[in-house]
Amino acid sequence: MNKSTIDKIFSILLKLTPNPKTELNYSNNFTLLVAVVLSAQATDISVNKATKELFTIIKTPQDIINLGEEKLKTYIKTIGLYNAKAKNIIELSKQLIQHHNNTVPNTLEQLVKLPGVGRKTANVILNVAFNKPTIAVDTHVFRVSNRIGLSNATTPLNTELQLLKNVPQKYIFLAHHLLILHGRYICKAKNPLCNKCPIKTYCKFYNLNNH
């Protein structure tokens, strides 16, 4: 797909959603980190339901330590993999206290060393908390990028690298959010709403299936 087509795609998506942002609720960088860790293989809606009460009592890593793993589980038990996530959140809180002066680090290298934090989570934190031009590739971004023709990669990492190379610089910062929202509400996994899609003219999937 050529650069001018990619530019048109993102121009259209941005006009429809002029201020795209994460749908996770959070109050600071630490609660954002907790929310993103919880969101792995879970919906933002389910995470927001669980954190509504949790975030009234925790704001810092020390708050998590004071709460303890078992009590933390009672707040997040409606989320998939909650046992492993509770353990990771306790451990990453300890590491933030011991090695990062109670703050969330602002580099990919440091973030991925934290328990429960992979490259996708780290890229979300870098983008949302620190305004860095990263593209986090989750299931929506991976699917949409390949369907449209923005990428032909078979892994999230290679999809990320292709997007960073192909997406015009002016859209890099917002690309992750625009693609997620498009994947969540229009370009759905099982029944994509192609007839409602504002970028179908440029979409590889649509053109292959409608000609």
CB 50 within 8 A of CB 75: yes
Minimal CA–CA distance to 123: which of 179, 85, 80? Answer: 179
pLDDT digit string (tens) for 149-182? 999 999 999 999 999 999 999 999 999 999 999 9
Percentage of residues in the chain having pLDDT higher than 90: 97
Residue 211 has pLDDT above 80, yes or no: no
Please pick, among 138, 196, 200, 204, the residue that the annotation labels catalytic. 138
Examine the residue annotation and report whether 120 is marked as an active-site residue of this protein. Answer: yes
Examine the residue annotation and report whether 7 is marked as an active-site residue of this protein. Answer: no
Confidence of residue 210 (pLDDT cuts 50, 70, 90): confident
Domains recognised in the chain with CATH numbers:
3-20+135-209 (1.10.1670.10), 29-128 (1.10.340.30)
CA distance linking residue 30 with residue 14, whole number of Å: 28
| The token pair that represents 23 in the structure block | 């749908």
pTM beyond 0.85: yes
Please pick, among 52, 73, 120, 170, the residue that the annotation labels catalytic. 120
Q: Which positions ≥6 away from 85 have C-beta within 8 Å?
A: 37, 38, 40, 76, 79, 116
63-84: buried (b, 16+ CB within 10 Å) or exposed (e) per residue? Answer: ebbebeeeebeebbeebeebee
| The token pair that represents 94 in the structure block | 């300890």
pLDDT digit string (tens) for 43-76? 999 999 999 999 999 999 999 999 999 999 999 9
Q: What is the mean pLDDT of residues 177-193?
A: 95
